[in-house]
Amino acid sequence: MKPNKIILNTTIIIFVNLLFFGVILSFSESSASIEKILIDEANIINFDPRVFHPVKKPLNLNPDEISLGERLFNDKRFSRDNTISCATCHDFKKGGADGKRTAIGIEGKVGTLNTPTVFNSSLNFTQFWDGRALTLESQVKGPVHNPVEMDSNWNKVLSKLRLDDNYVKLFNSLYPDGLTINNIVNAISVFERSLISMNSKFDQYLSGEQDALTIKQKKGMARFMMYGCHSCHQGVNIGGNMFQRLGVMEDYYNEKNTNQADLGRYNITKKDEDRFVFKVPGLRNVAVTPPYLHNGSIDKLEDVVSLMGRYQLGRNLPDEDIDSITEFLKSLTGEWKGKSL
């Protein structure tokens, strides 16, 4: 489904629900019965597949290609000086990101953008903050050439890997044409497609386990929808399927120093309407992948919830709602190989 259609469908859902919430919130929000209605309404809405649905295990992936891709993902020979691998910036112990404000590449060079998590990246409709790669294969090719990341090129990488007899044997057993650049990219992409974080509390809840979420998380889920957060954060990845301007309701960059990275999608399209526009990030595992925003400028999840309320929704969210929404977002943390990220 195209992003515009997703936005249209979601807008209809939001409109109906805002009518409901508008009536409810005309009364005292402290009432326990009203809170129950909010939670019950959230229970109903979340099973609408146009808004949220549980993540599913990827199918039809060759386990041998996954294994090979994982090995390549951790191989530092992809960088010019053999110090940086894909896993350097996409650390599974840090939710598939690196925990740094912006990426650190070869020789300690500092990038301009925050490292997105590699988990569930196959669920995104484009890759990178500015959406310049339409496929995982295109994304894989980028860092090798980037002078601030790996600062190498694919011919050099291929030459190094061809000196490894084990790699040569593995590629010959899996691909008719053996060890080639395209097959290296394919194996890494297959591995990345396998990186789906399963069994979050929210997934359990969507699958019918009503007690998987706490009352506070259910309240946060209701607030998440009441304010319209799911106009951008919806679908299986709870985001990652559209572009949006940072500062819809208020100029986020007013009186802030900006750099080229802040221009976002504009750097690709050169269209004025794409200034400060970025791919909306998926929210799965968001609680374990700080810092936040494209430039990693926000350290705490509570602060980015507040910021989104102000600049994207035009609302100054009460502390109580920020707290409950944050708790809801924590329920989006999934598992990898049976362990919580």
Residue positions annotated with a catalytic role: 149
Q: Round to whole Å and give the CA distance between 190 and 65.
A: 7
Q: Round to whole Å and give the CA distance between 108 and 151.
A: 12
What residues contact residue 260 under an 8 Å CB cut-off, 6+ apart? Answer: 112, 267
Q: Distance of alpha carbon 50 from its chain centroid, rounded?
A: 18
What residues contact residue 80 under an 8 Å CB cut-off, 6+ apart? Answer: 106, 150, 151, 152, 156
Rg (CA), the chain: 21
Closest CA to 197 of 40, 56, 70: 56
Strand 243-245 vs strand 277-279: parallel, antiparallel, or unpaired? Answer: antiparallel
Residues 253-292: b if buried by 16+ CB within 10 A, e if exposed = eeeeeeeebbbbbbeeeeeeebbbbbbbbbbbbbbbbbbb
Report cis status (omega within 30 of 0) of the bond before 291: yes
Q: Round to whole Å and give the CA distance between 193 and 58.
A: 7
Structural contact between residues 123 and 282, judged by C-beta atoms closer than 8 angstroms: yes
Going from the C-alpha of 80 to that of each of 16, 31, 193, 306, the distances in angstroms are 55, 62, 26, 41
In degrees to the nearest 10, what's the CA dihedral of 169, 136, 204, 227?
A: 170
Structural contact between residues 55 and 120, judged by C-beta atoms closer than 8 angstroms: yes
What is the 3-state composition of the chain as percent helix, strand, coil, each rounded to the nearest 5?
50, 5, 45
